[in-house]
Amino acid sequence: MDSLFIRDTYLKKVEPHIGKEIIKVLTGQRRVGKTILLKQIQNLVYQLDKEANTVYINKEQNEFKQIKNADDLFNYIESKLKSKQSNYVFIDEIQEIEEFEIALRQLLVKGVDIYCTGSNANMLSGDLATHLSGRYIEFHINSLSYTEFIQVHKLPNNNDTLNKYIRYGGLPYLVHLTLSDEIVYGYLKSIYNTIILKDIVKRYSIRDVDFLDRLVEYLSDNLGSYVSSNKISDFLKSQRVHLSVNTVMNYLKYLNNSFFINKVERIDIIGKKRFEINDKYFFTDLGLKHAIIPFTGAQIGSVFENLVYNQLIYEDYKVFIGKHQDREIDFVAQKGNVTKYIQVAYQLPDEKVREREFGNLLKIEDNYEKIVVSADEFTTDYKGIKHIHIREFLFN
């Protein structure tokens, strides 16, 4: 991505915390633009503090390969600090440093303002949470939204652009490539291999890499479908693989921890109870999904669900699959006191389909916003329920 493209959405979230005694952690899948955003935050620091002393470490660069553990990290940074200036530290892919959280805690005590990125959710649920509880704030970074994709690639907001976004996804580096299957998917497959081999196989010592690939293909084939232990068991039998269901569920957790996929839980709308079975999984970036299994129109409904889910996450909603009596609500989105119920369909070609999509929402007896999203060129609200074109929903 051109470094001149400023991701204001994230900079505005980080800016109020600059200079505060709290570690700023940028998380997200590899290649979603965390490194460039970290540089943009560094530039913002220079604008706010002309005398800033900054220390930058990128663990993917060879010049920093000697920094392997907490002692190495602390000693390197301490040697760069200046007593008469405010000190700011920026560390890219910090999970590559053993026990990094120990060094961060020491630096925080010394008054250093710390910013770091990571490509694994475990660094928050485990490493950081244990040693730095209450001393860090997370900013989750997504690949480009549809709006950002349009801005970066300088494309019009039309169906052809939406099709490109669906096919190729929103990884920022695509701006440097010709948007064709041969070129884009070659790049995306290399990113997929890096995620699988470096963030999952190496980190979790997985032996059956071939099955992990087949599991990703299974998730791609079953996009938007419920995934349960029984379905996984049937999948194992079909693949003639001798792994326990628990092992496979761990594989799913590892894919989720690397931000490659997102697990979406089910919630009972009336009782707010969360169900412990039948989750759905959506891909963080559809381009990576389609690099594995090429895009066809057969999955367009599920792809639309994935698009809507990713947009809601981009807008900082907590998202669930809704269950209301015997009906399913595609998404229940919650943020603060705001709740939205959303149904997603490719098209509403007849009254029967309209009744199903709108009818599910009409049965919910509360006053929260209810929306149906589809690709119908002419959208008409129905009994107080909004009907929005998919491009309008994504373009904000």
Do 125 and 154 sit in the same domain of this protein? no
Question: Does residue 132 lie within any of the structural domains?
Answer: yes
- DSSP letter for 21, please: S
| CB-CB neighbours of 359 under 10 Å | 14
Which residues sit opposite 382 in a β-bridge?
A: 385
Q: What is the mean pLDDT of the chain?
A: 92
Question: Does residue 242 lie within any of the structural domains?
Answer: yes
Q: Which of 140, 155, 181 is the last residue of a domain?
A: 140
CATH code at position 29 = 3.40.50.300
Q: How far apart are CA 56 and CA 125, in angstroms?
A: 25
Do 196 and 222 sit in the same domain of this protein? yes
Give me the mean pLDDT over the 174-199 stretch: 95
Q: Given a cut of 90, is residue 265 above it in pLDDT?
A: yes
Question: Does residue 361 lie within any of the structural domains?
Answer: no
Question: Does residue 15 lie within any of the structural domains?
Answer: yes
The predicted structure's pLDDT at residue 320: 96
Give me the mean pLDDT over the 101-110 stretch: 93
Question: Does residue 338 lie within any of the structural domains?
Answer: no
Do 124 and 216 sit in the same domain of this protein? no
Give me the mean pLDDT over the 352-372 stretch: 92
Query: If pLDDT is split at 50, 70 and 90, which confidence band does 326 have?
Result: confident
Q: Residue 291: which residues within 8 A CB-CB, separation 6 or more?
A: 184, 185, 188, 189, 192
Q: Which of 74, 105, 140 is the last residue of a domain?
A: 140
Q: Given a cut of 80, is residue 112 above it in pLDDT?
A: yes
Q: Given a cut of 90, is residue 120 above it in pLDDT?
A: no
Do 122 and 157 sit in the same domain of this protein? no
The predicted structure's pLDDT at residue 4: 64
Q: Residue 101: which residues within 8 A CB-CB, separation 6 or more?
A: 70, 127, 128, 130, 131, 132
Q: Which of 246-250, 286-290, 303-307 has the lowest mean pLDDT?
A: 246-250
Do 254 and 170 sit in the same domain of this protein? yes
The predicted structure's pLDDT at residue 269: 84
Do 83 and 170 sit in the same domain of this protein? no
| CB-CB neighbours of 60 under 10 Å | 11
Do 53 and 121 sit in the same domain of this protein? yes
In the structure encoding, which two tokens stand for residue 344, read together?
């997603």
Give me the mean pLDDT over the 197-219 stretch: 92
Do 97 and 157 sit in the same domain of this protein? no
Beta strands 261-264; 280-283: pairing state: antiparallel
Helix or strand or coil: residue 118?
strand
Give me the mean pLDDT over the 347-353 stretch: 90
Report the number of distinct structural domains present in the chain: 2
Do 128 and 15 sit in the same domain of this protein? yes
Do 164 and 258 sit in the same domain of this protein? yes
Q: Which of 273, 290, 307 is the last residue of a domain?
A: 290
The predicted structure's pLDDT at residue 45: 97
Query: If pLDDT is split at 50, 70 and 90, which confidence band does 1 have?
Result: very low
Is residue 368 within 8 A of residue 354, CB to CB? The reply is no
Domain span including residue 69: 8-140
Q: How far apart are CA 221 and CA 219, in angstroms?
A: 5
Do 154 and 135 sit in the same domain of this protein? no
Question: Does residue 317 lie within any of the structural domains?
Answer: no
State the burial class of residue 198 (Cβ atoms within 10 Å of its Cβ: 0-12, 13-18, 19+).
middle
Question: Does residue 304 lie within any of the structural domains?
Answer: no
In the structure encoding, which two tokens stand for residue 291, read together?
């690099």
Q: Given a cut of 70, is residue 392 above it in pLDDT?
A: yes
| CB-CB neighbours of 126 under 10 Å | 13
Question: Does residue 75 lie within any of the structural domains?
Answer: yes
Higher pLDDT pick, 11 / 278: 11
